[in-house]
Structure formats: structure tokens, C-alpha cells
Structure 1
Amino acid sequence: MKKEILYIGLLCGFLLGFSACGDFLEEHSQNMAYVKSVTDLDEILIGEGYWPSNVNMYLDTTYDDVITGWGQVTANMKNFFPYIHLMDDDVSEYLYGNGGGSSEKNYPRLKAAHVHHWQADPFLNAENVEIKDENWSAVWRRIAAMNSVIYQLGLVREQGDDPQTCNRVEGEARFLRAQYYFFLANLYGRPYCKATATTDLCIPLKTSEDIYMDYFSRATSSAVYGQMVEDLQRATVLLRGTEQTTKYRTNQTAAFILLSRVHLFMENYEAAIACADSALANREYRLRDLNEYTGGSAVYVNSPEVVFTHSQNMMAVLHGPVYARGKYASSFTSSDDLIRSFDGKDLRLKAFFMQRSALGDGYRCVKTRLIDEGVSDILAIRIPEAYLNKAEAQALLGLDAEAINTVNELRSKRFATENLSAITENGEALVNFIRDERRRELCYEGHRWFDLRRYAVNSVHPFEKEIRHVSYAYTEGSNEVYSAGTYVLKPYSQDMAAYILPIPKYAIEYNEGLLTNEIRPEREMIVE
């Protein structure tokens, strides 16, 4: 074999800075070295490709680990971008009424204050102490690992290793690389705009297995999304006929759904429909009829709707109130705007949410109610998305009747038959209806923030809105909660930089100016 050792740890120099490289090399060198067969690459795929899931994670995770790790990678808990849930219009602050204002009880809220308020530097807490964005480096390490796995597969194939296993491992590696690029692009790059994608700067693009010390800059949106499409198209071929032995390993159906999503973002509507249809052709997965829901998790790992999942579910922390050291702590909750978007007879209100108390003080998202049911709130792929991708693409193509039929397949499982009202909208109103349906069905699954960005630059029916996040406080000397003021995020066209997270300082410094960030404005609280 031409290359027996994968030195992908050296790739830490690519965009990451060297602060974490030593630990990475030390921790993973045994796993990454001396690849002899596709079995070795399969093990690397499990250890270095998939994001750790959180089955029983709280058994060995302290409260401090959970909170200090909300945007970091810690020893006991590896959180995948939980702040996705804190920037959009589905979230509000929640102060527990018996908080007394102590910093301990307000820690989750204070830790995430700057990202929730879209501040110039979102990775500071309320006391202006840096929260290092380790997710950036953690994702790039996984991309580097997948680059090397894909390259090494070419070598092990030459040795005559089992072709079917080689195809499966490469298909999974390509899927994971595309999924990670998708999230990086939609967090740290501009939204994909069809008219300007060839010139808009997105994120760096690295697919080579070569190990070298170099500096990198942002690639265009067209190049980054083109790579996603290439990887996912290849994955759908390589994973054909592969048996999925666990929902924690991806498969062809998941690849078709993610590819459908990417095409929808790129406004390749016919392709989005075709990929969704390919996913829906697999009858192993189906919609769960919520008319039969009697309690427990609406989304669970062995649900017929769940195609694939990895990473954690953070909603138990983000939507607390978190129970810490014998006391309840303040956190976040569902916005009134989100809850009002549901028809009162929508079965998802009961299945997806739990009222916080008899006082009527808001709703927690509890799609996955038990930690050990192990479904991510960001990286899971469910079959309802295929229906929603298809319906929106049809509506944007002007295929109103077809779009209504598609979205009604989903809605028929979310309402009692007698409560399922007819859809009378057409044209732009129908597009908006389907987008609202997407919001309701996929809330707190890592979609809403990205969808708001892409709606703003859509060439057929653009949509943008102002988002308001109220900041709450306690009345001095009492437990009474009141609104201290409001932070406002203007529509994308007026506040573009705030919709793009800054690449971490350590990556900027390492690349000596070749990587730059949009200048995000400071944001003052409006007292009304």
C-alpha cells in the first residue's frame, strides 16, 4: 500500500489553529494509523466520522459539563451547534419565577445571551467572557477524516477488499462530508443565492487527502454546494442495496433526503422533487399517524419516520428549566409566534410540546422526551422532510394541485379527519402555507434558521421578516419576572452580517488574513 498511515491530525493546521491539535493527535493516533483494510476504514468512519450520540449521556455528565459545553466540545459531551436553536423566531427566553436573580439559576440564559441577541461577537457570555467555538475545529477534523477515508478506499480496493463493503464505507463517508459542509455553509457563509452563487463567498473547501501546511480562504457558494451535490449523488449510488443495521448509520434514503434539501436550497426544484420521490419510494419508512399518539416521544429512534440520526438532543437543556444542584435554572422556551402558528386542533401541539405549568407560562419542545431514545435535534433525518421538500418545490414551480396533494399526505397524519381543513391557497400564498407547515413539522430540528436565510434570497417568492427577542429580568428583591427590553434582528436584506456566524478568531489568526468575516453590528436593547 502506498500510504499505510493517515496523518490527518496534521490537517489541524487547516483553518483550525494549533491549540487543539496536540490533544487531537494524542487521542486519535491509535485509531488513525496503519490502515490495512476496509475494516480499518469502517472503524475510522465510526470513530471519526459520525458525531457521538447522547444515549445515557447524562449518566456521566455534570450540570457544569452541559452548560459550559453548550457551544464547545468537552470531555463528557460533544454538542453539535446547539445555538442553531437560539437565533431564530421559534425561541424565547424563559426565566423561572423562583429564580431570585442568582447567576447560578440564570446560567444557561446568561451563557448564551450574545448569540441569542445577535451581538457583534456572539461567542461571549453575558459577562463578556469568551466561549470558544470549538465546533468549527471539531467539524473540520471530521471532514479531514472523511477526506482520508475516501482516498484510502481507492488503495484498499486495489488489494481486492470486499467491493460491497468498500462502496458502503465510501457512501457513508461522502454523506457525512456533505452533511458537515451543509451545516458549516449555512452557519458561517452567506445563504445560497442563485443569482450570485458564483461570486458569493461561503466557507473554505477542502476535499484532498494531501497533508500540507497551507492557508485557506472562503470558496464560493457555487463551489461548496456543487461539492455537496457531487458527494450526495455518489452516496446514493454507493449505498444502493445496503442494509441499514442501525439508525445511527446512514443509508441511501437519508442521502436522497439530504440531496433533496440541498437542491431545494439551490432552487433546483425538479431535482429536489426527484430525490424526494426516490426517498419516499422506500416503504420501510412512513409517516407516523398522530391520531394514534397516546403519549411518550413523538420522535424516537425506532419510529418509522426516523431514517437516520447521530449527534445529541439538547432540548432537555435548552428548554429546561434545567434542574441544577437542587434548584431550577432559567433557560429558553418556544416563542408565542411559533405556538400561534399551529391550528388549535393540530395533533402536534400535544405530541411535540408540553405546557410548562398550570400557570400557562409557555411550552417546552419535547419531541424526544426520553434521553435514551437517542434522536438528534439537529442532525436527524426524518421522512416528513421529504414530503415538505417536494411540496415546496412543486409550489415554487407553480404545480399547485400537486403541491397540495403532497403536503396533505403529511397533514392527514397530523389532524383527525374531521378537523383537516381544505387548502384553498394558491401561488405565493400556497408557498407560504407550505413553508409554515415546514416550520411546524420540523421545529427544533435544525431547519428554521437556515430556512429563514434561504427564503430571504429566493428568486421566485422571497420572504424575510424582523425577529424580536425579549430580554427578561427579575424585579429587585422579589421573584417577579418582567420584560427589560427587546433585541431586534432586522430582515436579512437590512442586517445581512448578523445572519452569518463569524469564523472563530483562532482560525482567522492562523490563516493570516486570508479568512475574513462580515462585520456584525453591535446591538442595543430597545426599552419600550
Structure 2
Amino acid sequence: MKNLYNHTIKFMLVALLVTILGSCKKSFLEILPKGRIIASKTTDYDLMLNNLDLINSSHDGQLYLGDEVAAIEPNWTGAAFRDKQLFKYEGDLYTADEDAKETLVPLKALYIYNKIINEVPESIGGTEITKNSVEAEARVGRAWTYFLLINYFGKPYNPATASTDPGFPLITEADVTRTDFSRVSVQQIYDLILSDLNTAIPNLINTGVVWRGRICKATAKGLLAKVYMSMGKFAEALPLLNESISGVTGPGAAVTVSLYNYNTAFPGFPTAVNDFESLYTKNTNNALLSTASRVFWLTPEASALFDPADLRLNATNYTSTTFPNGVKLLKRIGGSTTNLGVRLSDLYLMRAEVKARLDDLPGAVNDVVFLRQNRLPAGKQGVPTAIAGSKMPLIQFILEERIREFAMQGHRWFDMRRLSVDPLFTNSAYQHKVYNTTGVVSETYALKPERFVFRFSPKAMGENPSLVNNP
């Protein structure tokens, strides 16, 4: 992590050069001190939040880890080393000189968010309301970044062990010279996430979505609900989900946020700024969706979850393969990115699950059916009666709906993590399978409990003597 801010430093040096060339007649003493070079005006810090590096990234490990993913031969044999290691639930993903995808871009974002949080209160030219709003957006961004990092490197949140489970280094200063990183507990990271979000929400100016790369109250509340769900705090999540869903088109909204109705028209693969279902865009590359890649497919079990009439199986969105022995697998195709941010479909499915867990079964059914009305034709949208009236079958149906909605998008991995410490799912066991060219399983890899976390890369360990690795 010693070089975790390398790219940002380069940007700072360019900014410094521009400052010097544009101010050559000023005395040396008028040049801003180290650490305060990029920005001085409130508008400067506001513009920093438009940095595309805060939206686009390459942290894609979760895509290969979901139990809805299978591999097939002959493509599996020639797959990339890291992809195979992830799929096999192995801990070592990188060589000694490689930067880890799981930290490279998130830590760069963390530097930017910390810089804004620490410096915008003293910036010039902005009202206190504007400064507070910019700081609030940065706090939500920092909370999102840490939520991602703790889901990579910390054990799933367990209230009984979170205070002693190793988490991630707590970095709240924009200091590029620091090299003494050590881990704090999972609980301390969640405390920071909750503090940032609860501090930010009252200071966010806009209720509705203004731009999908920026924060509004509805977005922040949806993210806070997602954090509470990962902690098993469903009662705390429900009012936030209600407010998030109702607030997406609230005062200040400048863009459309709504579910696409596949009965009317399949949306294809909209760009980040044009994706109606996105409240907060956090894109990552998704090689699994590449039409040129034929290594990873949906398992037969996940493929069988789809009704043949499900409009999500649109020919431009899925293809299929059937082996000589009759085993059938589906593959999601098209586009090259996945949005792991806050999505409207995710909010509805989270609220459905929360309602079911809190024994509001009719309310849960209403939410999941509302989504399905936009995904399946009439006559196929309902929840079977035997399932709709029973708590555990309904929760399971909603979790399966999440697989149908987010197949091969990485969301399943985060669900697997929280379910692994959920008292209702104590017997969950996950595995990956490789199918040979005839459709027979040739390799099986079981998910061991210690692999619910990533290991730090050799490079990070070598540069940070105080860092203790995961098993």
C-alpha cells in the first residue's frame, strides 16, 4: 500500500505545474503548502467529485466467486491464472510485483474522498450549506469505498466477533507519505461507515437524483439500508428503503429513475449516465459478459431458476449451451461493465426481503411482484401461493429472484457472505464446478470459510510490515 496513491500523486504534480506556470509572478510564499495544492475554492472540491475514477474501476473479483457461476471445458484449461484462482476459491491471486485490483482503484478513491472531507470546510468562496453538502457527498463516497473494502478483506459481519475480527486499515487522512498501515477491527470499519452516512444524510442538499455519479439523500439512504442488511439489522433498514425508493424523484431530481419494463422494450445495455435504474453508478469491468469469453456460464441450477418466458432471457442478453448429456447452461452476454452501486431493482428486492424477514409477507410479495411485472409477461409475474404465504420459502424465492436479476453481476457473492452468518441459513454450503465437453462434472471446488475474505497481495504485504494477512 506504500504506493497506493501513485496515480493521484501524478495528478497533483500536474496540477502543481499548471499552478506554477500560471502564477510565475507570485512570490514563493504564495504557493500553497504540500497537501493543499489541488484545490482551494469550494467549487474545486465540488468538481473533484466528478472524477470518473470515482465511477469506473477494475475491482472485479466478486464476479468469479458467486455460486451461480460454472466453468466449462475446453475454455477452462486456458483461463487466466487470477480468474482460475478466484473460481477455485484460492487465496493467492497475484505475483510479487502485481498491484491488487481489490485495492488499487478503491484506495485512490479513498484519497480523494479524504482530501475533500478534511479540506473543504476551510475552502473559499462557498456557503456553509454548499461546503457541508460537498463534504457529505465525500463521506458517502468514503462509506461506499470502505463498505467494498471490508467486504473484500474483513469477515462477514457477526455482532459476536466483529470487535475482534481483523478488518482493514483505517485511513481518514489524505497522506501520501504514510507507510505504517495496520488493520483495525471489522466493527471499527462499520462504525466509520455508519458514522459517515448518518453524518452526511442531513447535509445533502438534493433529495432526488441529479446525476448518477453524484450523491443525493435517496442514494445515501439506500446505501445505508444496504449496510444495515449486511449487518443483519433489518428493522433499521426498512424505513431507509422506504425513504430511498420514494425519494428518487424528490426535490432537486434532474434525471429519470425508474424500472425498465421489458414487456414494452428491452433496454439493451445503457451507458452509465443513461441507465434509468441507477441511482449511484459504481462500474467495474465484467469480462464474464464478453461475447468472446466462453469460460464462465450460469450453473444448471441457476439456469433452471428462470421461467422460459422470463424477458430477462432476451436473445440479446443471454445465450445457452446444451451438452450431449442434456445439461443446459445459460450465459449472460453483452456490455462490458457491471454497476455495483445503488440500483432501483436492488432497492425493491432488498425491501421485499426485509419485509419478509419482519413477517410482512403481503408487503414482501407486493415488492417482488412489482419488479417481476417489469421483467415477465402477464400470467407469469406472480409468486406461487404456497410460497407467498410462508416466510422461509418466500425469503428463498426473493433470494432466487436476486440471482435472476443480477446473474453474473457479482451481487451474489455479497449475498453469500451475509447469509453465511445468518441464523436462518446456517447450513449453507457453496461450491464451484467445471463441466467437461460432454457435460460431466470434472472438477469441484468447495468454498472454505476462510475464503469469504481476500488475502492481501504480496506487494502490499512487502510494503507494509505492520499488515497482518488473512489465512
Amino acid at match of 1:148: K
- The corresponding residue for 1:526 is none
Quote the offset at 1:175 in angstroms: 1.6
Aligned residues: 438
% same residue: 24
Amino acid at match of 2:2: G
Quote the offset at 1:225 in angstroms: 1.2
Quote the offset at 1:227 in angstroms: 1.4
For structure 2, the residue ranges without an aligned partner over 5 or more in a row are 16-35, 250-256
Provide closer, same or farther for how the CA distance between residues 363 and 46 of structure 1 changes in structure 2, counting only shifts above 3 A: same
- The corresponding residue for 2:33 is none
CA contact (8 A) 1:396 1:461 kept: no
Amino acid at match of 1:291: N
> Which of 32, 39, 51 pairs up with 1:35?
39
Q: Does 1:470 align with 2:421?
A: no
Quote the offset at 1:85 in angstroms: 0.7
- The corresponding residue for 1:407 is 368
> Which of 318, 331, 336 pairs up with 1:354?
318
Any residues of structure 2 matched to 1:31-430 within 5 Å, and which? 31=15, 33-47=37-51, 50-52=54-56, 79-95=57-73, 106=78, 108-123=79-94, 131-156=98-123, 159=124, 161-209=126-174, 213=178, 215-241=180-206, 244-282=209-247, 284=249, 285-294=257-266, 296-297=268-269, 301-314=273-286, 317-322=287-292, 330-350=294-314, 353-356=317-320, 362-366=329-333, 369-370=334-335, 376-423=337-384, 424-425=386-387, 426-430=390-394
Quote the offset at 1:152 in angstroms: 0.6
Residue 433 of structure 2 aligns to a residue whose secondary structure is: strand
Quote the offset at 1:226 in angstroms: 1.8
Quote the offset at 1:121 in angstroms: 1.3
| Distance (Å, rounded) in 2 between the aligned partners of 1:460 and 1:21 | 42
| Distance (Å, rounded) in 2 between the aligned partners of 1:37 and 1:298 | 35
CA contact (8 A) 2:132 2:203 kept: yes
CA contact (8 A) 2:53 2:105 kept: no
Listed one character per residue, the Cα deviations across residues 271-312 of structure 1 (whole Å, up to 9, x for unaligned) are 211111111113533322222134633886424322221434
Listed one character per residue, the Cα deviations across residues 314-341 of structure 1 (whole Å, up to 9, x for unaligned) are 2xx323342xxxxxx6532222222112
Residue 120 of structure 2 aligns to a residue whose secondary structure is: helix
> Which of 422, 444, 450 pairs up with 1:497?
450
Residue 71 of structure 2 aligns to a residue whose secondary structure is: strand
| Distance (Å, rounded) in 2 between the aligned partners of 1:342 and 1:211 | 49
Provide closer, same or farther for how the CA distance between residues 130 and 222 of structure 1 changes in structure 2, counting only shifts above 3 A: same
Listed one character per residue, the Cα deviations across residues 419-473 of structure 1 (whole Å, up to 9, x for unaligned) are 233443212222222211222222333311111011010134445223122165x
| Distance (Å, rounded) in 2 between the aligned partners of 1:378 and 1:34 | 29
- The corresponding residue for 1:445 is 409
| Distance (Å, rounded) in 1 between the aligned partners of 2:81 and 2:91 | 16
Residue 149 of structure 1 aligns to a residue whose secondary structure is: helix
Listed one character per residue, the Cα deviations across residues 19-50 of structure 1 (whole Å, up to 9, x for unaligned) are x6656523433347252211211233333861
| Distance (Å, rounded) in 2 between the aligned partners of 1:456 and 1:467 | 13
Amino acid at match of 1:140: L
Amino acid at match of 1:82: D
CA contact (8 A) 1:280 1:383 kept: yes
- The corresponding residue for 1:17 is 2
Residue 259 of structure 1 aligns to a residue whose secondary structure is: helix
Residue 49 of structure 2 aligns to a residue whose secondary structure is: helix
Amino acid at match of 1:448: R
- The corresponding residue for 1:486 is 443
Amino acid at match of 2:10: E
TM-score, normalised with respect to structure 2:
0.83
| Distance (Å, rounded) in 2 between the aligned partners of 1:299 and 1:43 | 21
Quote the offset at 1:209 in angstroms: 4.7
Provide closer, same or farther for how the CA distance between residues 91 and 233 of structure 1 changes in structure 2, counting only shifts above 3 A: same
Listed one character per residue, the Cα deviations across residues 112-155 of structure 1 (whole Å, up to 9, x for unaligned) are 2112111241336xxxx975414413322221221121111111
Amino acid at match of 1:353: N
RMSD, matched Cα: 3.1
CA contact (8 A) 2:209 2:216 kept: yes
| Distance (Å, rounded) in 2 between the aligned partners of 1:350 and 1:497 | 38
Quote the offset at 1:511 in angstroms: 2.7
CA contact (8 A) 1:390 1:403 kept: yes
| Distance (Å, rounded) in 2 between the aligned partners of 1:471 and 1:130 | 33
Listed one character per residue, the Cα deviations across residues 81-102 of structure 1 (whole Å, up to 9, x for unaligned) are 1221111212222457xx7x9x
Amino acid at match of 2:212: K
Residue 94 of structure 2 aligns to a residue whose secondary structure is: coil
For structure 1, the residue ranges without an aligned partner over 5 or more in a row are 1-15, 53-78, 323-328, 473-479, 520-528
Provide closer, same or farther for how the CA distance between residues 298 and 469 of structure 1 changes in structure 2, counting only shifts above 3 A: farther
| Distance (Å, rounded) in 2 between the aligned partners of 1:266 and 1:207 | 22
| Distance (Å, rounded) in 1 between the aligned partners of 2:11 and 2:218 | 33
